[in-house]
Structure formats: structure tokens, C-alpha cells
Amino acid sequence: MRTVRDIPELENIPVLVRTALNVPIENGKVTNDYRLRRALPTIKFLSERGAKVILISHIGEQGTETLEPVARALGKLISGVSFFGETIGERARKAVRELAPGKILVLENLRRDQREVMNDRAFAKEVAALADVFVEDSFDTCHRVHASIVSVPEFLPSYAGILLEEEVNELSEALKPKHPALAVIGGAKFSTKEAVLTTLLKTYDHVFVGGALANDFLKVAGQEVGKSLVSNTAGNSIKKILANPKLVLPIDSLVISSANMSAIDARMSARIATEGQVQSDEVILDDGPGTSALLADLAKKAKNILWNGPLGNYERNFIDATDAFARAVAESDAHSVVGGGDTIAAIENLGLLPRFSFVSTGGGAMLDFIAKGTLPGIEALDKNNNT
């Protein structure tokens, strides 16, 4: 993979960087700048060598949000940042022309134009027309077949950024772990996690499925899950995974009565349900203390730990199992890799993120990379190795 270090000339050259500026915003303010900090090494590398650094990114799902507050937050981390409220076209090209060497220009949300997610070639060509060189550094979106990710590299000499390179190196190691290896997959939505579970069951010694994801497994295994969150999923693929002796499931959970679901302090009414003891009107919202003890033991023995997905509904304070496991990882000697937007948010709130060996900025991208060993955005760089 060619990286920014291989770009032959940078002084006064406009360089387009697909970066991850997709950060949480509340009331027009960035509430967590973790991803921005991880984007800095590539931006600094280019800026220090006199490139005109043009940052493109999406923010939010709908294409309605603006990157302006993100540009302001980035400006607090590095000097020389400005924002231009359009993405393509003559005015955007003029803003690039007027940019002084070493300065950083953030363009508006790529998803403001529907052609971004449609992977429209004409749109990609217009985006590419902004610069002479393309750098892919948004590992978290490399699993998406969008114009800025897979088509822009067709039109420009393209290179990997420093974050992308680090993600690929670290996660390639996680594909061939030291043993015993423990994988913990929580969160929700079985459909997005099926492929990675199948891969992990081949390469890891223990694959723990927790969080809402476990509800699907418990249900297919014939246990009552009451009114818990479940995916609408074909039972057959779950049955196959259930038969694998490497699979580990929660042995207890924290539940509340569905009548208390809307209560602000729902956590106060929770009880521990041991295996098979969930009532039909109850909701599972966290893995239980017995499960946490079992996981702590596996973490202690492990030489390698991979984790994605909170083990409970942490936004509503069902954080105990996630907290207990994060502490177990922090105390373990294992090489630990964690990723996922929600997972990172939950662990950062606990102050335990620095205790992990590697933090991936990808959620879906990390899982797809582990499942397949590559991603569309990475393949696009290799395919279009046009100098």
C-alpha cells in the first residue's frame, strides 16, 4: 500500500484527503473529538510539507448536517484551518486555489449531494477535480461503496494516510492472534456481525456474544427473552453458530419489567435474571455479574483480545458489564484491540481507553476488515495505483 510518505512532491500541491470528521454534535457543538485527534497525524504531515490540505468527509446519515462546527473544533487542535460551505464546483475550486501552502481547508458535508452515496462517477470526477493527489485516511468508511471512497481514486494518484496505514497494520495482526485469543462481540444487529462471527470462530479460541446481539442467540436456543431487543433474522445461521463449542453466551443478565421501560431511572428497578429466568414481560438491558466474572477469567488468561459492541444499553446507564469487561481488559496482559463508535464512546466515558493496545476508529469497517481481510476503499487504492 502506497502511503503519504511516497507522494513525490507536496510543496504547494493541492492534496484531497478523505478523512473521518463524522463526530457527534449536540446543539452545534462537537461533543467528542476523539476521531479528530486521530486524523491529525496525516493532516500535520501534509501541512508541514507545504501541501494545500483539502479535507472531505461526511457527517450524519441524512446529508442535512454541516461540517462547520467540526472545522472549528479541528481549528482548536491545529492552526491554519478554514471552512468553505460547498463541496464541488467553481467556487470550491477557487477556494482551493486561494489556499496558501500548508493551510487546511474543510469542505462541506459530502452527503449534501446524494450522488456521494450513489457512488456516481460524474460526482467523483468533480470531487477529484479539486486536487492533484488523493489520500484515503477515513478507515471507518472504507467498507462503504461511496463516490469519495471507491471512485475518486480512479481519477487521481492515490495514497493511504497514516491512520489508514496504522489501522490496516494493527487489524491485520488481529487476524492472526496469539493464543488463547478471546473475541467479544456485543452491540446489536446480527446481520452486520454474522460474517465476522464466522471468521472469528475459525481463528479465535473463545468468541463471546453479548449485549443485545446475545438475545438473538438465546432466543434461537429456546430461552425466554421477553420483550428484549432482537433482530429479525433467519434462525438457521444462528443455529449453526450455536453448535460451535467456541461460542460463549451470557449466563445471566440485568432485566427490568417492560412497564418500567420509559422510566428515567429504569436502572434502579433492574434485577439479575440467571439463565432461563427471564419473564415474558421483562427486557434484558445488560449482561449480568456472573457473565462479567466469566469474561474477566477469560480476559485474564488471554494473550489477545478483540472487542466490538457494548455489552448493555450504556446510553441508559446499563454500563456495568461494559465497565467490568473494560477493567478486565485493562488489567490483562493481553494485546487488546477495540473498535466501534458506541464502544469507544462507552469506554472513553469510563476513562479506560488509554489502557487498550489499539483503538480502531472503525465499527462496521473494523468488523468487515476482520471478516474479509480488506475493504472496498482499500482495494480502490491498490487497483488504481496510477502515478
Interface positions with ligand 3PG (CB under 6 A): 20, 22, 61, 140-141, 144, 341, 363
Question: x/- contact string, 162-191, with ligand ADP (CB under 6 A)?
Answer: ------------------------xxxx--
Rounded to the nearest whole angstrom, what is the least distance from the CB of residue 147 to Mg ion in the complex? 23
Nearest to 108, CA basis, from 92, 96, 94, 122:
92
Per partner kind, with CB cut-offs from 5 to 8 A, the member of Mg ion, ligand 3PG, ligand ADP, none near residue 140 is ligand 3PG
Rounded to the nearest whole angstrom, what is the least distance from the CB of residue 290 to Mg ion in the complex? 26
| Comparison of 81 and 346: residue with beta carbon closer to ligand ADP | 346
* Cα–Cα distance measured from residue 334 to residue 171, given in angstroms and rounded to the nearest whole number: 15
Q: Which of residues 259-318 bind ligand ADP (CB under 6 A)?
A: 284-286, 308-310, 312-315
**Cβ contacts of residue 73 below 8 Å, gap of 6+?**
23, 30, 33, 36
The residue number whose beta carbon is nearest to Mg ion equals 342
* Cα–Cα distance measured from residue 184 to residue 307, given in angstroms and rounded to the nearest whole number: 5
Q: Which of residues 188-227 bind ligand ADP (CB under 6 A)?
A: 188-189, 211-212
DSSP 245-265: TTEE--SEEEEEEGGGTT-TT
Q: What is the CA radius of gyration of the chain?
A: 22
**Cβ contacts of residue 22 below 8 Å, gap of 6+?**
35, 57, 58, 59, 60, 140, 141
* Cα–Cα distance measured from residue 19 to residue 57, given in angstroms and rounded to the nearest whole number: 6
Q: Quick one: which segment of 269-277, 298-306, 338-346, 378-386 binds Mg ion (CB under 5 A)?
A: 338-346
Contacting Mg ion (CB under 5 A), which of 183, 342, 376, 381? Answer: 342
Per partner kind, with CB cut-offs from 5 to 8 A, the member of ligand 3PG, ligand ADP, Mg ion, none near residue 177 is none
- Give me the half-sphere count of Cα atoms (radius 13 Å) on the Cβ side of residue 68: 8
Report if residue 340 touches ligand ADP, rule: CB under 6 A: yes
Q: What is the DSSP letter of 280?
A: T
| Interface residue list for ligand ADP (CB under 6 A) | 186-189, 211-212, 229, 284-286, 308-310, 312-315, 340-343, 363
